[in-house]
Amino acid sequence: MRKTAVLGTIALIGLSPLTMASDLEKGKQVFSQDAQPSCTICHTLADAGSAGAVGPDLDELKPTKEQVVNAVTSGVGIMPAFNELLSEEQIQAVAHYVATVTGGNK
Ligand code: HEC
């Protein structure tokens, strides 16, 4: 009995970072590849290795997930809206990614 409980705990601890990592990978792919024009052209984001200077430096801005969802869905200023190109799921993924790697998710 006790052994099963211990194993179950190990499995849970082992799995959750994995799912989180793959969510972040998906968001990173949207940021660097799926979005056209790519977010990397206009934004600096250290985790994605981008140094675009058209829009704000996201490492400094530390946007919340909601802020990213709004910007990507509707566009802001000269930033285009991506709601026709990206699925709701892709927008959620990229927003989760940006807010997490910049620390805006707190
Ligand atoms: C053509 C250049 C361009 C592209 C491509 C672009 N952005 Fe932007 N982005 C901007 C500019 C410029 C602003 C600032 C707009 C303003 O405040 O007037 C901005 C603002 C933002 C903001 C801040 C919004 C706020 O609340 O202040 C976020 C977050 C953001 N962009 C994320 C992204 C993501 C994620 C992508 C890719 C899906 C992306 N951007 C693609 C130019 C771009």
Write out pLDDT tens, residues 37-62.
999 999 999 999 999 999 999 999 99
- Which CATH number does the domain housing residue 69 bear? 1.10.760.10
pLDDT tens digits, 79-94: 999 999 999 999 999 9
Residues 6+ apart with CB under 8 A from 31: 38, 39, 40, 45, 48, 50, 94, 97, 98
Q: Tell me if 68 is assigned to some domain.
A: yes
Give the CA-trace dihedral at 3, 8, 13, 17, to 10 degrees: 150
Task: Count the Cβ atoms, other than its own, within 10 Å of residue 89.
Answer: 10
Q: Output the ligand 1 site: residues, CB below 6 A.
A: 31, 35, 37, 39, 41-43, 54-56, 61, 63, 67-68, 71-72, 76-79, 82, 94, 98
Cα of 45 vs centre of ligand 1, distance in Å, is 12
How many structural domains is the chain composed of? 1
ω into 80 cis (within 30 of 0): no
Mean pLDDT of the chain: 90
Q: Report CA-CA distances (Å) from 3 to 7, 14, 16, 39, 90.
A: 6, 16, 20, 48, 40
Token pair listed for 34: 């799926």
The residue segments making up the domain with residue 27 are: 22-102
- 14 is a domain residue: no
Task: Kindly give the distance from the C-alpha atom of residue 18 to the centroid of ligand 1, in angstroms, as a whole number.
Answer: 29
pLDDT digits (tens, 9 = 90+) for 8-47: 665 555 555 666 678 899 999 999 999 999 999 999 999 9
